[in-house]
Chain A
Amino acid sequence: MSTTPRLTALDALHRSLGATMTDFAGWDMPLRYGSERDEHNAVRTRAGLFDLSHMGEITVTGPQAVDLLDYALVGNISTVGNGRARYTMICQEDGGILDDLIVYRLGETEYMVVANASNAQTVLDALVARARHDGGFDAEVRDDRDAYALLAVQGPESPGILKQLTDADLDGLKYYAGLPGTVAGVPALIARTGYTGEDGFELFLKPEHAEGVWKALTEAGAGVGLIPCGLSCRDTLRLEAGMPLYGHELTTSLTPFDAGLGRVVKFEKPGDFVGRKALEAAAERAETAPPRKLVGLVAEGRRVPRAGMRVVAGGEVVGEITSGAPSPTLGEPIAMAYVDAAHAAPGTEGVGVDIRGTHEPYRVVALPFYKRQK
């Protein structure tokens, strides 16, 4: 495998904007353009523009596309209407999470699966293998990672900004819906999705159109304070919104039930699906004897918890931090952690985080840390 990082269609533009770049899942991506706190606050209060072209698009088409997805994924994809999207997961036979996904239904028999960059190849391989199950599904799995650039405009001002550039019916476009349209004169799949806890849109475009659309959005948003935003603030935005990140809250050693996301597993759907048996046992376990639970932690002090640090109570290790950061919105360090059930109730006292040998006091809170006012 090549170690040369992959570049998005907007690479030169990011550099011209003075972005600090970072390697992310094999891609050279903007980490931040200026202050990551300013970028975070722009998305919370105005609007931010992201290049997310590292995300992995996989197209599944054919008469049995939906049957394949119902078999390969834990969600009930048959119930996704045309033009709608669904948050779901793909699991191993043992119930372990391979990735979390968004599935967009683009047509009667056409679906787009969007995987995390770090897992795109794994998801593609799994879908191809699962398409051959039991004589095979009449469906085609296509690697479309290079077919799309992905821009996101997120924040309360994003509808007003996008409206200037499209005739698409944005008011009629609900959260977790997507429709083909034209943005700044070029074709785009316009989806009302995101990973920030704010209203916003994700635009799937041909890579050769990405720069023109980026510039058009920048211009349309200039008057209301839209700024380019990097992956650093995307991480603090999703953390405040209590959204899991693969490799942190989600791993192959956890089932969706362990992650508190058992609701994405649809046992009621007809037919078998990969992981069904193991997940039924995991659901039972979560009900009767929950192992660790995913909780929110808010610092009493100012030192920041980081992934991998131990959560302690009464001198014992009771959990582990999966994500942590200074929260720009709350003004305090926050974290998500897997914590023993006995210490997982919101309001639990006496919990600390071992930060380089010092037990810093934290309080347990319900997730999310931040919820937008609708």
Chain B
Amino acid sequence: MSNPQQLRYSKEHEWLSAVEDGVATIGITEHAANALGDIVFVQLPEVGSTVTATEECGELESTKSVSELYSPVTGEVVEANQDVVDDPSLVNSAPFEGGWLFKVRLTAEQDDLLTADEYTAFTAG
């Protein structure tokens, strides 16, 4: 499995896209999706709500367990991916693409995220 170079990563296994016009896209990594198994239910933060870096903002439910979803950044949710709500298996099949979760307009700088290489090393350990 390879982690795209253009993304940044949290230790809670979320990825963050490059910021464009103040907005970044967030999802969970392939490593996390594989560890969870088949994801069957996704609860995303509501559009308009505020998420805070490292705080819980939703949940991901798989066959065996439920996991909290954390936001890697602080800001306002501007879009939630209805496609993954309708078909949670997208998170398993395309975690870095069609399985993205939500978009945030950043209100604070976030500088302690990992690069792809750092995250790969982090998950190898």
Contacts and interface: CB of A to CB of B under 8 A. Distances in A.
A232 B40 contact: no
A232 B64 contact: yes
Interface string B29-46: 000001001101101000
B37 A302 contact: no
B63 interface: yes
Contacts, number: 40
B66 A306 contact: yes
Contacts of B79: none
A32 B61 contact: no
A321 B40 CA distance: 19
A304 B41 contact: yes
Contacts of A356: 66
Contacts of B37: 20, 31-32, 35-36, 232
Contacts of B64: 31, 36, 232, 325
A236 interface: yes
A36 B36 CA distance: 11
B92 interface: yes
Interface string A197-209: 0000000000000
Contacts of B92: 35
Contacts of A232: 37, 63-64
Contacts of A326: 38, 40-41, 61, 63
A53 B24 CA distance: 49
Main SS class of interface, A: mixed
A145 interface: no
Interface in B89-108: 89, 92
Interface in A296-352: 302-304, 306, 325-326, 333
Contacts of B41: 302-304, 326, 333
Contacts of B61: 303-304, 326
Interface centre among A31, A302, A333 (most CB of B within 10 A): A302
Interface string B63-102: 1111000000000000000000000010010000000000
A67 to B, nearest CB: 43
Interface string A32-60: 10011100000000000000000000000
B63 A302 contact: no
A325 B41 CA distance: 11
B54 to A, nearest CB: 20
A36 B66 contact: no
Nearest to A233: B63
Given A35-B92, A326-B63, A304 B38 contact: no
B66 A37 contact: no
B112 to A, nearest CB: 29
Interface in B11-58: 34, 37-38, 40-41, 43
A100 to B, nearest CB: 22
A221 B63 CA distance: 26
Contacts of B43: 303
A232 B89 CA distance: 17
A302 B38 contact: no
Interface centre among B34, B40, B65, B66 (most CB of A within 10 A): B40
A356 B40 CA distance: 17
Nearest to A304: B61
A304 B59 CA distance: 11
B94 to A, nearest CB: 14
Interface centre among B40, B61, B63, B66 (most CB of A within 10 A): B63
Interface string A4-30: 000000000000000010000000000
A10 to B, nearest CB: 21
B81 to A, nearest CB: 16
A326 B38 CA distance: 10
Interface centre among A31, A304, A325, A356 (most CB of B within 10 A): A304
20 contacts: A31-B37, A35-B37, A35-B92, A36-B38, A36-B63, A36-B64, A37-B38, A232-B37, A232-B63, A232-B64, A303-B41, A303-B43, A303-B61, A304-B61, A306-B65, A306-B66, A326-B40, A333-B40, A333-B41, A356-B66
Interface of A: 20, 31-32, 35-37, 232, 236, 302-304, 306, 325-326, 333, 356
Given A36-B38, A302-B40, A325-B63, 10 more contacts: A31-B64, A32-B37, A35-B38, A35-B92, A36-B64, A37-B89, A303-B41, A303-B43, A303-B61, A326-B61
- 5 nearest interchain CB pairs? A326-B40, A37-B38, A302-B41, A36-B63, A304-B61
